[in-house]
């Protein structure tokens, strides 16, 4: 089944879409939904409940996971727009390689295959982002509050880099920051050689950049 235009799926109408393969517009999922056949959302995908989308490979627009929502999307490889994980939401997308826009994480996200974020990457509050394959952030990289980002393969940040509060960044392969570098938290940047803008290390901050 292909649905032309936008679609909302709720607990009440979920059974009507068991064979849904594609939504050409945007899709919003409320409550709990299991859509085994869905492979493509042409527009935005918004999840407000618990969704299991085992066959989903592509979201053409933005992907938003709200509140205490949970999204399992084991086959998802591409988000064309931005990716937003809010509140205590959880996203498990182990095959996701590319986010075309920005990535913002307030909750928990496990993105084992992610290599590229085209825009800004921002990790807030007590959020935790595991992105062991991430190599490139096209815009700014900001880690706030008590958030933690482990990015062992990250080599390039196109914009500025900011580590605030009690946040922690571990990016031992990072060599280049295109903009400024501001550290008020803790940053381990063993390979860093180039900062395009200003450098600021505040208060009791800790910056390891021996290279």
Alpha carbon distance 187, 202 (integer Å): 12
pLDDT digits (tens, 9 = 90+) for 114-140: 999 999 999 887 777 888 899 999 999
The most confident of 80-89, 114-123, 183-192, by mean pLDDT: 114-123
Report DSSP state, residue 42: S
What pTM was computed for the model? 0.86
pLDDT digits (tens, 9 = 90+) for 63-81: 998 877 888 889 999 999 9
Q: Is 188 left (phi over 0), alpha (psi -120 to 50) or beta?
A: beta
Higher-scoring residue by pLDDT: 171, 188: 171
What is the model's pLDDT at position 177?
93
Q: Among residues 39, 41, 44, which one has the least CA distance to residue 19?
A: 39
């Amino acid at each position: 089944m292909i649905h032309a235009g936008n679609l909302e799926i709720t607990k009440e109408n979920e059974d009507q879409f068991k064979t849904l393969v594609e939504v050409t517009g945007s899709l919003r999922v409320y409550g709990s939904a299991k859509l085994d056949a869905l492979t493509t959302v042409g527009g935005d995908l918004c999840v407000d409940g618990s969704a299991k989308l085992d066959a989903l490979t592509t979201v053409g627009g933005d992907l938003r996971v709200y509140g205490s929502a949970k999204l399992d999307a084991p086959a998802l490889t591409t988000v064309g727009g931005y990716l937003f994980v809010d509140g205590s939401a959880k996203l498990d997308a182990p095959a996701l390689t590319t986010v075309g826009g920005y990535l913002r994480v307030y909750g928990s996200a496990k993105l084992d295959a992610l290599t590229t974020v085209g825009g800004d990457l921002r990790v807030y509050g007590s959020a935790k982002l595991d992105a062991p394959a991430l190599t490139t952030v096209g815009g700014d990289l900001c880690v706030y509050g008590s958030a933690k980002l482990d990015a062992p393969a990250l080599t390039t940040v196109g914009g500025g880099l900011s580590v605030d509060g009690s946040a922690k960044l571990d990016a031992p392969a990072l060599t280049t920051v295109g903009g400024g570098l501001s550290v008020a938290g803790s940053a381990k940047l063993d390979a860093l050689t180039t900062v395009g803008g200003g450098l600021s290390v505040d208060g009791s901050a800790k910056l390891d950049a021996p290279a």
